[in-house]
Amino acid sequence: MLTSDLVLAGSEMFKIHPDVIYADNRTAFVCRARFGLYMAFYLRGASKTQVGRIMRRDHSTVIHGLIRADRMMKKDDSFKRVVDKLVNMHVDLGHREKEQVE
């Protein structure tokens, strides 16, 4: 599974179109999905800079999103379950994905 596959899986779980996740949309439900994906990539071992490249954001934006995602995971069980599913999906982190991440 490539990084784009994880974004697609996340978009399905959060019930939002993948293109909207990458867009400059700041509505709550879009940010929720985006922050969940930041956290999933980060917990899977990507650096903040790598998450930024994958998600087309600056690493400082990713840092803010990770802080928000951490808070959401502590307060919202459904959000935590979705992030946990994304983190634990069977994914081959082989050579092709590393090329996209780096």
Indicate the pTM of the whole model. Answer: 0.85
Q: Check residue 95 and give its pLDDT.
A: 38
Q: Which residues contact 52 (CB under 8 A, 6 or more apart)?
A: 58, 59, 61, 62
Q: What CA–CA distance (Å, rounded) separates 88 from 75?
A: 20
State the DSSP H helix or E strand holding residue 12, giving kind and residue range, or none if neither.
Answer: helix 3-14
Two tokens, residue 25 = 């949309």
Tens digits of residue pLDDT in 80-100: 999 999 999 865 544 344 444
Per the prediction, the chain carries an average pLDDT of 88
55, pLDDT greater than 60: yes
| Cβ–Cβ under 8 Å, residues 2 and 91 | no
CA distance 32 to 92: 26
